[in-house]
Structure 1
């Protein structure tokens, strides 16, 4: 049984998030429960290093895990096989041309060890609204004019908060990720929690307080 502090319950749209230093160790980074996915709430969350992550039909859960997985352009690792694919020019990358398709593919793609998705209809509506406001961006990968991979996330200052990615063909999401890291001018890409896939591309863990410090500096750029 998890003991949830009363201050973690977001009673109203104006209820502030607790300080992230108070986040639980188990589950790692849980900092708040409830509230809504309004643009104002989401923007405040990301500015504080917090993101929503919950299962469909559950209340909204907000996290700021420790450690935090991130990547910087200088740490990007491109394998020989991926470099060969990049040089082949069989893929074309575009930005913000078919966001709706990207988020729906991210929602529906089958992932190993996952029976359900955390991208419910409320999240689709919320991030689509933020996309229309220019806060959420998509990176799309095309092969023979067909969308075969991509990713989306929140863009603030020199920070990109990655939310989800998908591949319909081998390496497509990696192509999108490399383009994001190399070409779009971000100094820090937030990968949220550790994954073997992103670690193979050069992502690494940092302490939460270091992440928050870097975040506050880069939001102003």
Structure 2
């Protein structure tokens, strides 16, 4: 289950879809243009340096599920070490990023943003590399989007997801 605020009322609802989008940690698809940006170090990437700025940018959409209450809740979880952000920088300016929750060997991607083409994808590639080094086994993307599908995300049935989730959260690893 995961929370999302109603964009009109701000009421937080909980969702548990029958299909769950996950990103296989060894199945990330990287386009040639994205690979060039990574190879030539077009951007620099940091972890947990500007969480508040990342979540605020993620909430700046015409329709958003990220209410002020969600921001404050995730800020508290960030302070406790459960939430992490990945920031993509160009010339000391934040141009993309993502954030999510980490428990055991599972990372639950919550949202991403980009003000430059591929900047959020650069953050995701760096996140996946980091999670592989830390022996994570699950990146939960919640809902499938065309953007995530182009990167290699797949939908799995709820029963398969719950089995994988149980294994992942019980792993003795952590994000840091």
Asked whether the two chains share a fold, i.e. TM above 0.5, the reply is yes
> How many angstroms apart in 1 are the aligned matches of 2:155 and 2:68?
31
What residue is the counterpart of 2:4 in the other structure?
53
SS of 1:74's partner is coil
**Structure 2 segments unaligned to the other structure (5+ residues):** 172-176
What residue is the counterpart of 1:75 in the other structure?
27
**Relative contact order (C-alpha < 8 Å, sep 6+): which is higher?**
2
SS of 1:75's partner is coil
> How many angstroms apart in 1 are the aligned matches of 2:125 and 2:42?
15
The answer to whether the Cα contact below 8 Å between 1:55 and 1:116 also exists between their aligned partners in 2 is no
The answer to whether the Cα contact below 8 Å between 2:5 and 2:67 also exists between their aligned partners in 1 is no
Show structure 1 runs of 4+ deviating over 4 A. none
Q: Which of 41, 49, 52 is the matching residue for 1:100?
A: 52
What residue is the counterpart of 1:86 in the other structure?
38
> How many angstroms apart in 1 are the aligned matches of 2:10 and 2:114?
27
What residue is the counterpart of 2:85 in the other structure?
138
What residue is the counterpart of 1:123 in the other structure?
70
The answer to whether the Cα contact below 8 Å between 2:97 and 2:123 also exists between their aligned partners in 1 is yes
> How many angstroms apart in 2 are the aligned matches of 1:188 and 1:180?
12
> How many angstroms apart in 1 are the aligned matches of 2:87 and 2:105?
20
What residue is the counterpart of 1:180 in the other structure?
127
Structure 1 segment 4-19 matched on structure 2, within 5 A? none
Structure 1 or 2: more strand by fraction: 2
- My pick for the range that moved more, 87-96 or 183-192, is 183-192
SS of 2:159's partner is helix
Between the two proteins, the alignment pairs up a number of residues equal to 167
What residue is the counterpart of 2:148 in the other structure?
198
> How many angstroms apart in 1 are the aligned matches of 2:32 and 2:87?
22
RMSD: 1.1
> How many angstroms apart in 2 are the aligned matches of 1:93 and 1:132?
21
